[in-house]
């Protein structure tokens, strides 16, 4: 089967120095790909190019065989920070239903299929009982699961997540990545993370981004590889990756 994501010799800049230079990447259907790199390395930019939110200065981006902006309805996206106020008077179910909007604005009436899709997504993320709760009452881990459920309601063929565990503890992070791994039974999953040591226990490959991009099978990752990427060593503590020094993700 052809790759579901293909980037060929892609370069991009925000009206200044290039953020990405000559990047090529091929992702297969059902793959779980981790995207790692130091702060400012171009990880989020890469995701936005795949989503069609940005266009490359050079090179080509193909997603599901077409231009990214033409297939965006077949993609699910969980941004790095939820773009809504936590004190907004919205229930978890209402927030999750927004994943069915398809780019428009709708506050109801929702179709039966929409509500069923929301219920299924909430159940899949093990938070069905939270449906009537105001989003302001959720913990960080609960909110992150609700945001992922929102992305799942459209039945995406590709799910892209930008730092989905930035506000959760290790136990919640472990449970979340186990869920993401299970999702690869029906969709391709790309997850941006600063924690290469942790995600290597779950993903099939790691795409190391630092203006350029190199992919590694997780078994190929070595201390030397990580030091080359981050410019300093990385150590493992209780199965969780931690950087020496101050190198944010």
Q: How far apart are CA 89 and CA 91, in angstroms?
A: 7
Using 50, 70 and 90 to split pLDDT, how confident is the model at 110? confident
- pLDDT greater at residue 238 or residue 202: 202
Give the pLDDT confidence of 204-241 residue by residue, as tens digits: 999 989 899 988 887 666 666 666 666 655 443 333 44
Tell me the mean pLDDT in the region 196-203.
Answer: 85
pLDDT tens column, 13-48: 998 999 999 999 999 999 999 999 888 889 999 999
Q: What angle do CA 191, 195, 40 make, to 5 degrees?
A: 75
Residue 90 lies inside a defined structural domain of this protein: no
Q: Please give the Cα distance from 161 to 164 (Å, whole number).
A: 6
201 occurs within a structural domain:
yes
The pTM of this model reads 0.84
What sign has the CA pseudo-torsion 63, 69, 70, 75?
Answer: positive
- Number of domains forming the structure of the chain: 1
Give a yes or no: residue 30 inside a domain.
yes
Residue 32 resides in a domain = yes
Q: Which residue has the higher pLDDT, 186 or 216?
A: 186
Lowest mean pLDDT among 144-148, 154-158, 195-199, 220-224: 220-224
Residue 135, in any domain of the structure: no
Which of the pair, 121 or 166, is modelled with greater confidence?
121
Give the number of other Cβ atoms within 10 Å of residue 234's Cβ: 19
Q: What is the mean pLDDT of residues 178-184?
A: 92
CATH number at residue 215: 3.40.50.300
With beta carbons less than 8 A apart as the criterion, state whether 79 and 166 touch: no
- The answer, yes or no, to whether residue 244 has pLDDT greater than 80, is no
Residue-averaged pLDDT of the chain: 84
Q: What's the domain range around 66?
A: 5-84+158-243
Q: What is the pLDDT of residue 220?
A: 66
pLDDT band at 82 (very low <50, low <70, confident <90, very high): low
Do 10 and 37 form a contact (C-beta atoms < 8 A)? Answer: no
**Rounded average pLDDT over 65-86:** 84
Whether 25 is in a domain gets the answer yes
> Where is pLDDT greater, at 234 or 167?
167
The confidence score (pLDDT) of residue 66 equals 94
Q: What is the pLDDT of residue 104?
A: 46
Q: Is residue 212 part of a domain?
A: yes
């Amino acid at each position: 089967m052809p790759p579901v994501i293909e980037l060929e010799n892609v370069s991009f800049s925000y009206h200044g120095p290039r953020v990405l230079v000559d990047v090529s990447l091929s992702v297969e259907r059902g793959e779980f790909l981790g995207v790692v790199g130091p702060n400012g390395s171009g990880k989020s930019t890469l995701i936005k190019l795949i989503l069609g939110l940005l266009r490359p200065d050079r090179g080509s981006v193909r997603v599901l065989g077409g231009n990214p902006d033409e297939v965006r309805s077949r993609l699910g996206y969980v941004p790095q920070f939820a773009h809504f106020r936590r004190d907004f008077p919205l229930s978890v179910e209402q927030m999750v239903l927004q994943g069915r909007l398809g780019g428009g604005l709708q506050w109801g009436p929702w179709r039966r299929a929409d509500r069923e899709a929301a219920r299924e997504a909430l159940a899949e993320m093990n938070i069905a009982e939270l449906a009537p709760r105001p989003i302001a009452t959720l913990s960080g881990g609960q909110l992150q699961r609700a945001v992922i459920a929102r992305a799942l309601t459209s039945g995406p063929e590709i799910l892209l997540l930008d730092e989905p565990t930035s506000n959760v503890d290790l136990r919640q992070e472990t449970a979340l990545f186990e869920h993401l791994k299970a999702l690869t039974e029906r969709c391709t999953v790309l997850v941006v993370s600063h924690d290469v040591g942790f995600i290597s226990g779950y993903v099939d490959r790691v795409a190391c981004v630092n203006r350029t991009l190199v992919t590694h099978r997780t078994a190929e990752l070595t201390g030397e590889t990580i030091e080359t990427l981050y410019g300093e060593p990385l150590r493992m503590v209780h199965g969780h990756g931690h950087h020496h020094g101050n190198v944010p993700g």
